[in-house]
Structure 1
Amino acid sequence: MSLLLPGHDVPLGRYTTVRRLLPHRERRMIGAWCFVDHFGPDDVSGRPGMQVPPHPHTGLQTVTWLVDGLIEHRDSLGSHQFISPGQLNLMTSGHGIAHSEYTPPDHPDGMHGLQLWIALTEESRHGPARFEHHAQLPSLHDGPVTVTVVIGQLGEHRSPAGTHSPLVGAELLTTGPATQTLPLRPSFEYGVVVMSGTAHVAGETVEPGSLLYLGDGHTALDVSFTGPARLFLLGGEPFDEPLVMWWNFVGRTHEEVVEARTQWMAGLGASRFGFVTGCEADPLPAPELPSVRLKARDRHGRSY
């Protein structure tokens, strides 16, 4: 049975507000997808746009997907990459990395996209950090509908982006009324985010501002559109490792998160996280830890 999960607004820095769709009280994950922010569409003409100073990550991959605007990425590996609509930035934190994301001064008038996290498995979360940029991604065209496989595999189409668990992230874009059938894997659980327009999925009408959780056991998904719209499909094998998620860290225990915070604050990343060169902004300090012990939770939100 499908479940419609409303998002909530969260400020990101001084100039950007996002709609947080995952984690949600009723569904913390979809496959290994553990975090989904939808930002825009915003008019940033004469405004700074996204301004996120250097900050750390552990235990995850970040996926940046733009449909309007321009973002400049820098990280402690020395990567410096502008990302434009239709391109993928994929950063794998491994044991630790730091990065910044800025809308450059000379930027388009609009800003619209998704920021997503993928939890790394136990086998991969202690590995080295990595950054990938993919300007060309596989796509298929069916009448007014274009399906782009951003990461993972959908049917016969596979993204070149590196993954550490079976999953998929794909965009559906239609320029007018249309129907589309997507091949699904019964072993995957799925969710749908509508970025613009309206989509009719699994008997539900989905608009921007919410995420539709579809569960698993499906072999196909019929989607219909009454007009121009953009949808993002998330899916993956259920992730059975309990996680502790706090601030920008994904770990397994309270002690791991405390250690990562301590190491970040001790030298704002001197050893474990490194430095983001080329960014003049001061690194973000970590917030204070809560007074209670952080609990590991499974994908349903149950604590351990």
Structure 2
Amino acid sequence: MSNLDRKPATTLCGGRAGVSTGPVRDLLPAKDIPLGESTVVRRLLPSLGRRMVGAWCFVDHYGPDDIAGEPGMQVPPHPHMGLQTVSWLHDGEVLHRDSLGSLQTLRPGQLGVMTAGRAIAHSEESPRQHARLLHGAQLWVALPDAYRHTAPGWEHHPELPRITGGGLQATVILGRLDGASSPATTYTPIVGADLTLPSGTTACLPLEPDFEYAALSMSGEAEVDGVPLAPGALLYLGCGRSELPLRAEVDSALMLLGGEPFEEKILMWWNFVARTHEEIARAREDWMTGTRFGEVHGYHGPPLPAPVLPPVPLKPRGRAR
């Protein structure tokens, strides 16, 4: 998914300065962002309250939207570099195309991971014949310096490991949780999981004390460490936790995001993760001149033009709250 903001802010992230060394319960605000003709997403990372959670640097939650008779998600071809995109659905379908020639329809419970590495372009759209509801999350993972120039790639994982306990069911999307490991490629110590809590669930989920975590409410109203979360809310939990208490009076679903704090300082602008303003300026020029990122075939519409760069170059100064 793209950042479609025509005046995107340059976001300075990374480093340990803003990492909570102990458990906290910080509820982060969302910002509504239009995405295409009939979809509005709630942007939760980066935000004024938090820039990163582990290597997770971008989180959009969308739906559930009734798109019967509507085009649904329509994101034209656009570029990425220096990150991985993680696509996760609860309802609906999304058709992925990229400049590697990948063509894949993603459905609920199936994982799509795109490693941008040095450069890739892709589009995302609701198929012409699509389900009534569209509901999911799109997330980015920052690549560490040693891997950010790696070759681009696309992975589709229709089957993922699951764990159960106390009524809780968890699907391990990325990384490792409670002994179960996702088959998706990762480049930093990280975890992403989809949690299903039927009505009446009371459970404790084991965590890594060295990781920082956040919980994204997808549906229902689960309590996370005693904090009730409405759908679309993101609760930052900090570090130093060996377990996470969960409770649900109604059927609920959450996404758990975590990982070792990302020590490197990074620069995010539009759909790029880099280290310097010059890298971003060069990537923008390459996209606008049709070089480096390749071409997405099959999307009925022009590619997305890059916004204008800010006039004053900025440098990464670490993660900020």
My pick for the range that moved more, 59-68 or 286-295, is 286-295
Residues 198 and 297 of structure 1, relative CA distance in 2, 3 Å threshold: farther
My pick for the range that moved more, 211-220 or 8-17, is 8-17
Residue 214 (structure 1) aligned with residue 237 (structure 2): yes
CA distance in 2, matches of 1:280, 1:17: 21
1:26 corresponds to: 49
Superposition deviation, residue 205 in structure 1? 1.5
Residue 77 (structure 1) aligned with residue 100 (structure 2): yes
My pick for the range that moved more, 36-45 or 207-216, is 207-216
1:111 maps to amino acid: L
CA distance in 2, matches of 1:286, 1:52: 13
What TM-score, normalized by structure 1, do the two folds share?
0.96
What TM-score, normalized by structure 2, do the two folds share?
0.91
1:285 corresponds to: 305
Q: CA RMSD in A?
A: 1.1
Q: Is the 8 A contact 2:219 2:253 kept in 1?
A: yes
1:232 corresponds to: 255
1:220 maps to amino acid: E
CA distance in 1, matches of 2:263, 2:303: 33
CA distance in 1, matches of 2:315, 2:45: 17
Q: Following TM superposition, where does structure 1 have runs of at least 4 consecutive aligned residues deviating by more than 4 angstroms? A: none
Superposition deviation, residue 143 in structure 1? 5.8
Count of residues in correspondence between the two structures: 298
Superposition deviation, residue 6 in structure 1? 1.4
CA distance in 1, matches of 2:284, 2:59: 22
1:266 maps to amino acid: T
2:73 maps to amino acid: M
1:295 maps to amino acid: K
Residue 59 (structure 1) aligned with residue 96 (structure 2): no
Equivalent residues in 2 for 1:38-187, closer than 5 Å? 38-142=61-165, 144-187=167-210
* Identical counterparts, % of pairs: 55
Q: Secondary structure at the match of 1:24?
A: coil
1:296 corresponds to: 316
Residue 191 (structure 1) aligned with residue 211 (structure 2): no
Residue 273 (structure 1) aligned with residue 293 (structure 2): yes
CA distance in 2, matches of 1:281, 1:209: 30
Q: Is the 8 A contact 2:265 2:275 kept in 1?
A: yes
| CA offsets 1:7-53 (integer angstroms, 9 cap, x no match) | 11011122211000000112100000000000000000110100001
CA distance in 1, matches of 2:194, 2:126: 23
Superposition deviation, residue 277 in structure 1? 1.4
Q: Secondary structure at the match of 2:289?
A: helix
CA distance in 1, matches of 2:34, 2:72: 12
1:235 maps to amino acid: G
| CA offsets 1:167-190 (integer angstroms, 9 cap, x no match) | 000011123220121110011000
Superposition deviation, residue 141 in structure 1? 2.9
Q: Secondary structure at the match of 1:243?
A: strand
CA distance in 2, matches of 1:143, 1:4: 25
Q: Secondary structure at the match of 1:2?
A: strand
Superposition deviation, residue 228 in structure 1? 0.4
1:4 corresponds to: 27
Residues 297 and 18 of structure 1, relative CA distance in 2, 3 Å threshold: farther
1:202 corresponds to: 225
Q: Is the 8 A contact 1:6 1:209 kept in 2?
A: no
Q: Is the 8 A contact 1:65 1:86 kept in 2?
A: yes
My pick for the range that moved more, 277-286 or 79-88, is 277-286
Q: Secondary structure at the match of 2:265?
A: coil
| CA offsets 1:225-282 (integer angstroms, 9 cap, x no match) | 1110110000000001111111101101111110100110012xxx310001122221
CA distance in 2, matches of 1:99, 1:169: 23
CA distance in 2, matches of 1:156, 1:209: 28
2:179 maps to amino acid: E
Q: Is the 8 A contact 2:120 2:152 kept in 1?
A: yes
